Structure 1
Amino acid sequence: MTAMHPSGPGALRLIFPQWQGAAGAGAVGSLPAGQPHQTQLSYHLGPSLLELLSPEHDGPTAFVPVSTDTSEAAVETVDGIYARSAVLLQLQEAVRVMQEADPQSVVTFGGECSVSVAPFSHLAALYGDDLAVLWVDAHPDTGMPGDGYTGFRSMSLATLAGLGDPEFLASLPAVVPAGNVLQIGLRDWQDPGIETKQRLGIRSVGITDTPEDTRRILEWLALTGATKLAIHVDLDVLDRRDFADRTGSGTRGVRVPDLLRIMDAVGEAGEIVGLSLAQHAPLELLRLGGLLRDLPV
């Protein structure tokens, strides 16, 4: 499984606990009452747990500072983007961190889905058309400001591909051509972002639990001619029978063995220089925290 881990000179582990891209303050299930932003803030906690549970890393680690201000002013929706000011500032800070570290490869622990934009943009500036992006996600993430849902996570892939808010685009060192992007495991075909996905011409491969999926992905990769890979994995793509600590529901997701099979195959076909794990929402720990607040501890 070593092909799964971007490594070598300049490898970086990036901790980016951004939560503001997940718009809306609604609670989930039995989360503590009276704490309306706790579901979003779970994305702030998730990256630290991912780092804690991951194999030892002997390369550099960088942190993107993320505000935990949940005041009305801090999360105000402006120009169709929730908490626009914070999200833009944190994107720019993530770009600065990447430029300062100047890694040849990066593993990112997020945070909601938009945490991949800055590191993948850095890799696009470094490798140009030799970089292909595999976006493993149940949702297209190709929304635009004004589509309805205001969370920037739903716009992250469109932004990376060069469409979106002009100020966000101006903050990026590079974008990825839509022809070098493949969506894997997409299930939400009712998402408003589907229209932008189709306009961009981004292709997708569903997961049918057969080797045919892998063959189609490898054929697409060969057509791009790219030898470097950046892989975004939104944990909500996984089947709940294998992983439940994330938002969303259903048991029609990608099974973990299938994901690992695909990762192994693409790792043999190209060099994985970017890997992001996003949308880790440790809701059970938040519920435990609520219990602890009510106990005489």
Structure 2
Amino acid sequence: MTSMHPSGPGNLRLIFPQWQGAAGAGAVGSLPAGQPHQTQLSYHLGPALLQMLSPDHDGPTAYVPVSTDTSDAAVETVDGIYARRAVLRQLRAGLRVLSEADPASVVTFGGECSVSVAPFSHLAARYGPDLAVLWVDAHPDTGTPGDSYTGFRSMSLATLAGEGDAEFLAALPAVVAPSNVLHVGLRDWQDPGIANKQRMGISSVGITDTPEDTRRILDWLALSGATRLAIHVDLDVLDRRDFTGATGNGTRGMRVPDLLRIIDAVSDAGEIVGLSLAQHAPLELLRLRGLLRDLPV
């Protein structure tokens, strides 16, 4: 279906369970009381489930070490970024893993949205302007430090495109020109990052559940001149009728058949060298863990 088979040559499967980019420690629904950060920590559990449910992979697999320390000191907001020290340390760790493996292509299981920054930056260093990025997400992720929301996930695409915290940018081996980035499925037009997205010149294609969406994406790709693609999929872009394992999604999102149709179409127009799945939040399993904690098991 796509030109990058999960067991293809040079392909690295990267497990990056980062949760610190999602600021805020509020519990959700029936999560056990008195256990802060459980919503965020669900992002730490999600990548393991994605890996377990995925087809067998006969290529290399690498893991980025991610702290689960939720102390006040560990998640302190510094320079407008929640848990800044942990996020920067883990970004550098991910880049070291990628530098050592030097893969030609990467599949990343996250974690919140910022897990795409390291692998896509690695691919940008390898392929230069021949790399285009499809950012399939309900939110722009083009915020900057100082915005009202301090989670780095909301700044991930802006950072990848060369704007943001200077120390984060200095860690990256390369950035992607905004003209080589396309938002797909964006629907949160009230997000503070929208103004920055528009100033940067990042284009968008909405999803109307018709082949016209695919044609517009293919037209954009042809104009970019890029022949290689990195695709970020935030699972909260999906319609709740198809998938409920993400936070913040609704019944006006992208249907799974439309997502598969788009990926199939672009794989015929270029080589997919990067694919990230992010924002898997298995909250029901955390609720189950709370039940097990209170049972005599």
TM-score > 0.5, shorter chain as reference? yes
Which residue of the partner structure matches residue 223 of structure 2? 223
**Partner secondary structure for residue 133 of structure 1:** strand
**Partner secondary structure for residue 107 of structure 2:** strand
Residues 1:157 and 2:157 aligned together: yes
Which residue of the partner structure matches residue 88 of structure 1? 88
**Partner secondary structure for residue 153 of structure 2:** helix
Alpha-carbon RMSD: 0.8
**Partner secondary structure for residue 293 of structure 1:** helix
Which residue of the partner structure matches residue 62 of structure 2? 62
The count of aligned residue pairs is 297
Residues 1:262 and 2:262 aligned together: yes
CA distance in 2, matches of 1:121, 1:276: 13
Deviation at 1:6, TM superposition (A): 5.5
Could you tell me which amino acid in structure 2 is paired with residue 239 of structure 1? D
Which residue of the partner structure matches residue 18 of structure 2? 18
1:1-297 matches, within 5 Å, as: 1-3=1-3, 5=5, 8-297=8-297
CA distance in 1, matches of 2:53, 2:98: 23
Deviation at 1:5, TM superposition (A): 3.7
Assess if the C-alpha contact under 8 Å between 2:4 and 2:273 holds in 1: no
Gaps in structure 2 of 5+ consecutive residues = none
**Partner secondary structure for residue 56 of structure 2:** coil
CA distance in 2, matches of 1:109, 1:133: 17
**Partner secondary structure for residue 3 of structure 2:** helix
- Residue 16 to residue 175, structure 1, CA distance change in 2 (3 Å): same
Deviation at 1:228, TM superposition (A): 0.3
Deviation at 1:294, TM superposition (A): 1.0
Gaps in structure 1 of 5+ consecutive residues = none
Could you tell me which amino acid in structure 2 is paired with residue 169 of structure 1? L
Assess if the C-alpha contact under 8 Å between 2:80 and 2:145 holds in 1: yes
Assess if the C-alpha contact under 8 Å between 1:6 and 1:105 holds in 2: no
Per-residue CA deviation, residues 65-93 of structure 1 (Å, 9 max, x unaligned), is: 00000000000000000000000000000
Assess if the C-alpha contact under 8 Å between 2:237 and 2:249 holds in 1: no
Assess if the C-alpha contact under 8 Å between 2:234 and 2:277 holds in 1: yes
**Partner secondary structure for residue 281 of structure 1:** coil
Deviation at 1:33, TM superposition (A): 1.0
Deviation at 1:4, TM superposition (A): 5.6
**Percent identity (aligned):** 85
CA distance in 2, matches of 1:264, 1:237: 18
Could you tell me which amino acid in structure 1 is paired with residue 67 of structure 2? S
**Partner secondary structure for residue 132 of structure 1:** strand
CA distance in 1, matches of 2:2, 2:293: 42
Deviation at 1:24, TM superposition (A): 0.5
Deviation at 1:246, TM superposition (A): 1.0
